[in-house]
Structure 1
Amino acid sequence: MPFVDRMDAGRRLSGALDHLRGDDVVVLGLPRGGVVVASEVAEALGAPLDVVLVRKLGVPAQPELAAGAAGEGGVLVRNESVVRRARVSETVLADLARRARAEIDRRALLYRGGRAREPVAGRTAVVVDDGIATGATARAACQVVRAQGADRVVLAAPVCSRDTAAALSGEVDELVCLETPARFLGVGWFYANFRQVTDDEVVDLLRRAAASRAPG
């Protein structure tokens, strides 16, 4: 079992990201479990911590098929090949995006409690999850962060399916994974303790991270 829990995984992942220390970095965790890992990375790098909030736009008849993704700041990333193949109309796409943004806004208020989103434009954005299976959400998050103006996008996770890592490596500036097993039975398989992370824990981690960087 490679990792004791998400905190252990985050500390170990930090070592593989130490070359980013001193850069203009913002660490973005994917809620909820990824935020625990990301908090350790942010602390080790002396970087701000935030969440990356993204919603895949599932084709109505095939929700697992993403016509695109929505993110904060009005960002909409379209998967044109899926839009064409599934014949998703502009009206349907706009409705999917509207509903996605409403959920993103709700979660942003929940997690940040009114604090502003950490800007990523012109910076190195390190997108962190506790593990990557298919890569669909991580891919969408990286696309959204890129669209928000990040100068470099680094995707980092303690464990990632080998096939998924190969597919993702060409889509980001840097992919950092400690374990890339060929036999991937699920993210939880690689943790001794993989308990569910609550929204309250995410809120607390973000609040403490923001307080630690507040002036004075």
Structure 2
Amino acid sequence: MIFRDRRDAGRRLAERLLIYRHNAIVLAIPRGGVPVGYEVARRLEVPLDLIIPRKLPIPSDPEAGFGAIAPDGTIVLNERLVAYCGLSVGDIERISKEVLAEIRRRAREYRGDRPLPELKNKNVIVVDDGLASGYTMIAAVRAVMREHPKRVIVAVPCSPESSVERLEKEVDEVVGLAVQPYGPFAVASYYESFPDLSDEEVKALINQAPVT
């Protein structure tokens, strides 16, 4: 299954999520998850908001991550990578502090003065444009779980099967349209158009969407 772009993926994904629309909210992971989440929220006629986890970059290879951190400080580590890279507790604390500062900067940029949404007793649908290892999504949903939602659903257009299995241990439901059972995986390969998004594009979609 190939998607034209993120919004096309969101429209297709939304059809699989209609059963969760009652008392629901969509939380999109910026930047790429926002166009997907926008279309899901619009189809379900529910509010759209953000959750902003980020990977914890490996110092020698910043494009790769050894785990992830959520806005509330929830940390998920790939213990094998931590050991392989020889990262100390001090290294992890320093990197986590730097990444958390960037999360808070982005939150101010995207949210402004808008209060955080109420998640208690709601169906919370956490959306991204795809899963890779899944650690960033795990950090996000663990933070969401602390707010006592009724149900947590992870929804993504594409993912490796291993990441779906990893997330199924964390949440009530994982909805994926294109789940790759084996072989090298790249989120971008499932899209005809997969451009980088700017902060301005993210804010424009958030401002157009239903709010809590």
Q: Distance in 2 between matches of 1:62 and 1:148?
A: 34
Match of 2:189 in 1: 189
Equivalent AA in structure 2 for residue 9 of structure 1: A
Deviation at 1:114, TM superposition (A): 2.2
Deviation at 1:137, TM superposition (A): 1.3
Is the CA contact (8 Å cut-off) linking 2:53 and 2:137 kept in structure 1?
Answer: no
Closer/same/farther in 2, CA of residues 122 and 197 from structure 1, 3 Å limit: same
TM-score (norm 1): 0.82
Equivalent AA in structure 1 for residue 74 of structure 2: L
Q: Distance in 2 between matches of 1:16 and 1:78?
A: 28
Is the CA contact (8 Å cut-off) linking 2:14 and 2:39 kept in structure 1?
Answer: yes
Cα deviations across residues 118-150 of structure 1 (Å, max 9, x unaligned)?
Answer: 222332211101111221211221122112333
Matches of residues 62-211 of structure 1 in structure 2 within 5 Å?
64-66=65-67, 69-72=68-71, 74-77=72-75, 79=77, 88-89=88-89, 94-182=93-181, 183-209=183-209
Unaligned runs of 5+ in 1: none
3-state SS of 1:42 partner: helix
Is the CA contact (8 Å cut-off) linking 1:10 and 1:39 kept in structure 2?
Answer: yes
Identity %: 35
Deviation at 1:51, TM superposition (A): 1.2
Unaligned runs of 5+ in 2: none
Cα deviations across residues 142-171 of structure 1 (Å, max 9, x unaligned)?
Answer: 122112333321110011112222222222
3-state SS of 1:27 partner: strand
Is the CA contact (8 Å cut-off) linking 1:13 and 1:157 kept in structure 2?
Answer: yes
Closer/same/farther in 2, CA of residues 145 and 213 from structure 1, 3 Å limit: closer
Equivalent AA in structure 1 for residue 199 of structure 2: D
Closer/same/farther in 2, CA of residues 14 and 78 from structure 1, 3 Å limit: closer
Q: Distance in 1 between matches of 2:79 and 2:184?
A: 28
* Aligned length in residues: 207
Q: Distance in 1 between matches of 2:12 and 2:128?
A: 13
Deviation at 1:2, TM superposition (A): 2.1
Match of 2:29 in 1: 30
Deviation at 1:61, TM superposition (A): 7.7
Cα deviations across residues 71-106 of structure 1 (Å, max 9, x unaligned)?
Answer: 33x443465967x966844x6555444333321210
Report the RMSD for the aligned CA atoms in angstroms: 2.7
Equivalent AA in structure 1 for residue 66 of structure 2: L
Equivalent AA in structure 1 for residue 121 of structure 2: G
